[in-house]
Amino acid sequence: MGSKFKKEGGRGEPAISTASLPDIVFILLFFFMVTTVMREVDLKVKVVVPSATEIQKFKNKSLVTYIYIGSPTDEKLGTSARIQLGDAYAEVQDVGAYIETRRGEHDEAEVPLLITAFKVDRSTKMGIVTEVKQELRKVSALKISYSSVEGITFK
């Protein structure tokens, strides 16, 4: 046999240079920084938004107020749809007050531009959504958006 196979641990392979590893990781890091957005709240309800084709991007994200509706993630709370405003569960009648506090955080000139975005789970019944819409009308927060992902709407 002789010298056809080298003995292990003889000379040893030269180590692969890891000097460029930080650069690669930094590229990944920048990719994620650019393509993602900060999570605004901890979701307490399960929301899978429906898909749609006729949708637009928000022009200014700071003007958007989110209302989440879906069944609670905590199963002890049952499965009926709940509303989440900010970081907490809320009832339908709290919607108006929440919109008013959000308005207080903005310039008066910006108030008519504020958008309320519905992030509603696709299996939710329309009853609760309609009630929230009526509350929004009462405080004249009329610009709304139904959050959805781009995709085919039906099979």
Partner 1 sequence: MKSSAPEINAGSMADIAFLLLVFFLVTTTMDSEMGMMRKLPATLPPGTPDPPIIKDRNVFVVLANSNDQLLVEGEFMDISELKAAAKEFIENPMNRITLPEKKLVDVPFFGVKQVSKQVISLQNDNGTSYELYIQVQNELAAAYNELRDELAQNEFGVSYQQLIEKKEKAKVNAIKRIYPQRISEAEPTDVGGE
Total number of residues that touch partner 1 (CB under 8 A): 56
- Which amino acid would we find at residue 98? Y
- Candidate segments 1-9, 17-25, 85-93, 102-110, binder of partner 1 by CB under 8 A: 17-25
Q: Which 44-63 residues touch partner 1, going by CB under 8 A?
A: 50, 52-58, 61
User: Would you say 73 and 45 are in contact if contact means Cβ atoms under 8 Å apart?
Assistant: yes
Please say which residue, 28 or 88, places its beta carbon nearer to partner 1: 28
What is the nearest approach in angstroms of partner 1 to the Cβ of residue 36? 4
Token representation of residue 105: 């955080």
Q: Are 46 and 71 in contact (CB under 8 A)?
A: yes
For partner 1, the closer CB: 37 or 109? 37
* 78 near partner 1, rule: CB under 8 A: no
For the chain, report the end-to-end CA distance as a whole number of angstroms: 66
> SS3 for 127?
helix
Among 1, 16, 33, 109, binds partner 1 (CB under 8 A): 33
- Using the contact rule CB under 8 A, the part of the chain among 23-31, 71-79, 86-94, 103-111 near partner 1 is 23-31
Tally of CB atoms within 10 A around 65: 21
Residues 145, 155: Cα–Cα separation, whole Å: 24
What's the half-sphere exposure (Cβ side, CA atoms, 13 Å) at 149?
8
Which residues, 107 to 136, sit near partner 1 by CB under 8 A? 115, 117-118, 120-127, 129-130, 133, 136
CB of 133 to partner 1, least distance (A): 6
The structure tokens listed for 75 are 């199963």
Determine the Cα–Cα distance for residues 155 and 50; give it in Å rounded to an integer.
13
Instruction: List residues near partner 1 by CB under 8 A.
Output: 18-19, 21-22, 25-26, 28-29, 32-33, 35-39, 50, 52-58, 61, 64, 80, 115, 117-118, 120-127, 129-130, 133, 136-138, 140-150, 153-154
